[in-house]
Amino acid sequence: MTQYFLLSAMLTFMVGCGNNTSKKSSNSSAKITQTSSYTGTASITQGIASTINEDIYSCERGRKTDVGAITSTDGKKWTVPAQTNFTNVSFPFSSDLFNSCEGKKYATPQEALSNFDDSRIIEIDKEGEIFTAYIFADNYFEMYVNGVAVGKDKVPFTEFNSSIIKFRVSKPFTIAMKLVDWEEHLGIGCEANRGKSFHAGDGGMVAVIKDKNNHIIATTNENWKAQTFYTAPIKDLNCVSEVGNYRYSENCDTNGSQDGTSFYALHWELPKEWMKANFNDSNWPNATTYTNQDIGVDNKSAYTNFTSIFDDTSEDAKFIWSTNVILDNEVLVRYTIK
């Protein structure tokens, strides 16, 4: 009898181990198959990145702001959510239109401008005209004019802020911006939100440029160029597609989850000198525009205190991004003012 029970136990153990091995092998094969079936131009990563720079900015009521690194299946290394100049002291910060993290809760554009330090005007052309840019970005931006760095966002994640940048330049000139939707879960474009531990964030940027006479000379709209270079979270690689230089993810699931550790991300290398005036962006898609309701700014003082600028009745600026404001996390935009 004892021998019978020992034999039964051994058989049960062997069958159990066999089932576990088979299950793991099946999951691994499914992941490999899905990755190999992807036919687009992006590099693919899966899972959460390693944190390489922690708390690059701290705000009492803001989200934790870290930077990570991850290696794609083709062996390339990627900085997530983006490689930025936030900690680069040679890249100037913008001035505050509204910044509750630093106590700059200006109620009107006039109040913010009265606190602007003219020594912060960036000179590109000595004989040029002074222009003023008003910017609200969800979450982070870096701005160049004719390839010259003129200002970066003071708050990379949250709380939401808005910015003023002044620069001296001659027309025509080209504005180029790097836009980043920051993330709590590095490498998969997610944050805790709406009752889910892993929920895709959303982006969006609006800008108004005025001349020395306070006349609007440009606003963000569908005539800007916009291209995505980091898309996540992707639950199923079969949901994405590319047509020419358009990178589509509108068929991808954006619902949140309690576990996103197996989500994928798509990465593309940024072109060299993308910020220069002579960079050829003719094959980039035009920017997609979004409403205030799409971005959700009606309860954000960094925007609502300045609707006289952003929602000017004579020339209402539009929020812009790439084709997917939820899943595209690093976007380059460009526009030439003539």
Tens of pLDDT, residue by residue over 298-312, are 999 999 999 999 999
Top-confidence residue, 6 or 274 = 274
- Residue 12: pLDDT band by 50, 70, 90 thresholds? very low
Residue 37 confidence (pLDDT)? 83
Taking the C-alpha atoms of residue 28 and residue 236, their distance in angstroms, rounded to an integer, is 15
Number of Cβ within a 10 Å radius of residue 241:
14
Mean pLDDT, all residues of the chain = 92
Residue 171 confidence (pLDDT)? 98
Reported as a single tens digit per residue, the pLDDT across 25-46 is 333 334 545 677 899 999 999 9
| Contact present, 333 and 176 (Cβ < 8 Å) | yes
Residue 293 confidence (pLDDT)? 97
Residue 31 confidence (pLDDT)? 55
In the predicted model, is pLDDT for residue 1 greater than 50? no
Q: What's the mean pLDDT in 243-252? A: 97
| Contact present, 183 and 191 (Cβ < 8 Å) | yes
**Residue 136 carries which side chain, given as an amino acid letter?**
F
Q: What is the pTM of this model?
A: 0.90
Kindly report the three-state secondary structure assignment for every residue of 156-182: CCCCCCEEEEEEEECCCEEEEEEEECC
Residue 138 confidence (pLDDT)? 97
